[in-house]
Chains A and B, each alone.
Chain A
């Protein structure tokens, strides 16, 4: 909802204010072909950090850009812009990365959601170059040391809300720790951001825990269920709550429902021991005991699958979704969220998705043509071979879209 009210600074009349607006609008744009190194440097900085560079930084980046005949100089310039040791890079962590990750943490996919442990962990992993393919499986969490901030609590978001409200510089304040040391989960039950409090609150609340799978697919595999629809997978793991004849018409099931549930249900089984307790405001993990939400509406299809444990299987390793590029070094099945997170994080689609998300964030467009797609593939290679450094992906992408 946008507001159209206007508040005045002290001492300013409405007439002056509107004159100011008129003056702003008069500053017409004059986009030109960007070729000068300083223009390239400015765009790289703008796109990565979100703020224009200082004169000194601009000069320094321009010099780097011209220092080589290939793109290595530009890459150095980009790395300079987001160098965690430089104060001027702070907005990359506080603004760019935060807004990059925030939509993944809530069902509305809004960027206006508060800072939380999910976004902080993404920011911290990028800052510290933690291999990003562990984002769905590691026992990792970032909190901040900041005077006045309430301590991290698994039962509320106060810690992160304080950090955001008071513009605490996450570039310096974030500290890596483990989830298991703070939220009481056994280390084996942690699964990166999947078991963060924010994700739990958004996707383990109520329902059947399928939301966690769907939103993880959307945010980290860049595919909603429509894009992985495959009716040819065996339906033997579809739970009892899915009617095989919705409203009395089994064609709906045979042509639609089965296409998603046949693959989703055997993987979402990994979350069988998780729930979000709304009253306590925290994630609940019941090792060895399947959450009742997995067994609801059991009479909708009595001989549907009854979840006995958190054993998951990836049926999409065969069929059309084998194109997602699952790792051949993994078995494609396992127990619990951590191994499922590894399965997803090790896929080609995961790496491709991270690069495409960064591409859209930095270049303001999806890969549009053969040149773009070729570059995305190259950066995917850099990402995978570079120990899954997402920071490198930002830098590489900013170089590609620096304008030339």
Chain B
């Protein structure tokens, strides 16, 4: 079922057209100011036929005909007297134009017959059919942008086929018997962390000894429909996460571990019968991503692009230059870890993608002709810690280059050789440290250069404020350098990350053009129309998502809208609550951003051209079987008059708590308790200057936890200093000393006699140990004996005069208040 939305394209009956402006907020159509410089390798003789009769034919000639007429392209067959349609005929461009109109779709260049034919393998002149299709699309887009100047690019919304969601396997409420094998593997090998009983516990607790708790946590890690895709298996097989040594072996074997785990999950899966999607739920019809309408492309400003990489190939080791500007500067991927990523892109973790010096020379030539350039990339830095990492470079090694975009942690660096820099493009222009412009996320980065104002850096469509005062000329550029991604040509400036698109322009893009290319986005985007006509009383009604493959592991679902393809339809009032995205017959646990949704579609907010937005947020949903096979649907807790909760949260399971032996139930006083204890015993104020100074000095040397095991000799040294400080203040203060020892004066005691020792020591013991013996204290007589021995055998072994007695009193006092009696609690 189709529907016309745009009157301007009413001639395309049977299709639904929607202004991109209204749909995706994209900018106006690409304008074509001038054609890219081209130099096809086997260009035939110059055209001598009739001049183009109209401006449109002129645009066709420049954008398409000049590129396809060569006899190593379409001109080989589709020429005068050759195969029809003869849109590449050399004799009369006006007649060629007439023929071309039958094989192009100017409203949607990617859907042109000429494009789909070549992209499906019809005499592509490159090794990659998709790249030929992309190049043809670009040529036709250039033509269309002139023909339709001033208009927005149109997107055709086509009603998808109606399919019901398929069946899938679901987890039983309680753990099935077959879970035991998985559980045993988890307990044996993962309980060191993933258990609530672990000392280093880390969620989720799927290795808990409590099977209910483990089962609840393990569900999201098990894929019943495809055990090999279970996180438990992938984590071992592909991510090498804490693998273990299989029985009777001594070294970890991730592959074997993964096989054992997969077999256990397979056994559990085999025991579970597939469950049909609950037919009582209120579900939309089902779609795969490729059932949607392509929404990307065509809105970029690529008029001056001279090398373009969209990374659509997905296999092999060649990243094709699809700029259409000859010679194609194709890049060869090499190195230990370079790979294609889903949703268009390449990831380089170790290695590079480099073009030949001969093909790279076109950059030198075409940029040299204008004296300006722009380096544009959609990139995902793998981290924000790498330094001296070259992202995009046209250079000859670490010391000579024409231009380079690099990364230093949170900064982008732009090196550009000109008459104002050295041969290495230095000084570099970098984004400001404080701005942290570079993030480990998908970013659009552009470096522009022109002779007047030099380099400028834009990140995510916005000028970062980083620029230089003047530019210079490019006369010193070297045409023997090579263009390379992810590294330096010499291989020793590795950048780790993902490229989703790279473009080189031979003009400095304007801020508006940079913004336009940022807004255009990157990657495959589709409008998925989930039919809900069977649930609401609105003809041809859909919940429409903008969906793309976000990376190799997830889909991005963006900005859902309610829309009908019947322009006369009005929704009335439709409540939407609790919308879930279903995948392959089940509801993914993670990423259900619309679960909390509670909104109403109303006539006042609905428009026939744009529908009504349901939510402004996007979410990512984990990829399972790949974009070809993954089937999506929507489930609604409530849609209009229909209401049934799609799913409820699993019953929370309280973690089991294991007993642990009680540690010692005594400990040491901590720093401030020690000081307070000494102040309490001696009666000396902690504000005494000497004590305050000592305490400030030793505070962090004293124990800061009660734990006995953490008590060190250093703690005792600090404690001794504080004790000495308190006792020194006590003994030197006549009043305090008198209050403590009473009369007669302790400093007059004869320490060579037992009476003198009693006079000194007994008051100390009374104040520190109390008047009666506590079982928790050391034996008073033993302590006293030790202190007496300290005096008689060490401190006064050669006799003590009055001066010496003062010192000894301080020392014995310190020993009395600084020992385990006061330290231990």
Contact = CB atoms under 8 A, between A and B. Distances in A.
Interface stretch (B70-78, B99-107, B589-597): B589-597
A401 B665 contact: yes
B278 interface: no
Interface string B714-729: 1111111101110110
B677 A17 contact: no
Contacts of A98: 672
A319 B649 contact: yes
Interface in B122-140: none
A306 B443 CA distance: 19
Contacts of A25: 716, 819
B619 A235 contact: yes
Contact of B553 (A21, A231, A249): A249
B620 A253 contact: yes
B313 interface: no
B590 A244 contact: no
Nearest to B681: A52
Interface stretch (B11-19, B167-175, B783-791): B783-791
A280 interface: no
B660 interface: yes
Nearest to B694: A7
Nearest to B766: A55
A258 B591 contact: yes
Contact of B620 (A27, A165, A245): A245
A321 B220 CA distance: 17
Nearest to B554: A250
Interface string B603-627: 0000000000001111110100000
Contact of B820 (A24, A246, A300): A24
Nearest to B618: A303
A244 B554 contact: yes
B551 A16 contact: no
Contact of A259 (B203, B719, B724): B203
Given A39-B776, A166-B687, A248-B380, A94 B551 contact: no
Is the interface on chain B under 10, 10 to 19, 20 to 34, or 35 or more residues?
Answer: 35 or more
B533 interface: no
Nearest to B785: A26
B710 to A, nearest CB: 11
B69 interface: no
A162 to B, nearest CB: 12
Interface string B651-675: 0111001011111111101101100
Given A9-B724, A10-B728, A51-B680, A229 B551 contact: no
Interface string A36-57: 1011001100110011100100
Given A51-B676, A370-B659, A304 B618 contact: yes
B724 A42 contact: no
Interface in B102-128: none
Contacts of B43: none
Interface string A205-241: 0000000000000000000001101011011100000
A248 B783 contact: no
A330 interface: no
Interface string B278-291: 00000000000000
A254 B622 contact: yes
Given A34-B776, A234-B596, A12 B807 contact: yes
A301 B707 contact: no
A247 B496 CA distance: 9
Nearest to A243: B441
B659 A369 contact: yes
Nearest to A252: B553
Contact of B721 (A7, A39, A243): A7
Interface string A277-315: 000000000000000000001011111111000000101
Contact of A46 (B718, B778, B825): B825
A12 B620 contact: no
B440 A243 contact: yes
A50 B382 contact: no
A30 to B, nearest CB: 5
Contacts of A248: 341, 347, 380, 382, 442, 497-498, 551
A365 interface: yes
Given A19-B794, A304-B617, A36 B383 contact: no
Interface string B458-471: 01110000000000
Nearest to B655: A323
B666 A364 contact: yes
Interface in B681-737: 681, 685-687, 690, 692, 694, 697-701, 704, 706-707, 712, 714-721, 723-725, 727-728, 732
Contacts of A300: 439, 441
B585 interface: no
Contacts of B680: 51-52, 91
Contact of A23 (B653, B654, B681, B819): B819
27 contacts: A2-B712, A3-B718, A4-B701, A6-B717, A9-B690, A17-B724, A22-B790, A24-B723, A25-B716, A27-B783, A29-B778, A42-B776, A50-B677, A52-B822, A165-B692, A167-B685, A226-B201, A232-B649, A236-B615, A244-B441, A247-B382, A254-B590, A297-B439, A303-B559, A364-B666, A364-B706, A368-B659
Interface of B: 201-204, 216, 220, 231, 341, 347, 380-383, 439-444, 459-461, 497-498, 550-554, 556, 558-559, 589-597, 615-620, 622, 649-650, 652-654, 657, 659-667, 669-670, 672-673, 676-677, 680-681, 685-687, 690, 692, 694, 697-701, 704, 706-707, 712, 714-721, 723-725, 727-728, 732, 766, 768, 770-772, 774-779, 783, 786-787, 790, 794-795, 803, 806-808, 810-812, 814-815, 818-822, 824-825
Given A3-B718, A245-B554, 20 more contacts: A1-B700, A2-B718, A11-B806, A19-B790, A24-B723, A27-B820, A29-B824, A42-B776, A50-B673, A52-B677, A52-B768, A99-B672, A226-B201, A232-B590, A236-B619, A248-B442, A253-B620, A365-B662, A369-B659, A370-B659
The 6 closest A-B pairs by CB, nearest first: A303-B618, A9-B728, A243-B441, A250-B554, A50-B673, A23-B815
Interface of A: 1-13, 16-17, 19-36, 38-39, 42-43, 46-47, 50-52, 55, 58, 91, 94-96, 98-99, 111-112, 165-167, 226-227, 229, 231-232, 234-236, 243-251, 253-255, 258-259, 297, 299-306, 313, 315, 318-323, 363-365, 368-370, 372-373, 401, 403
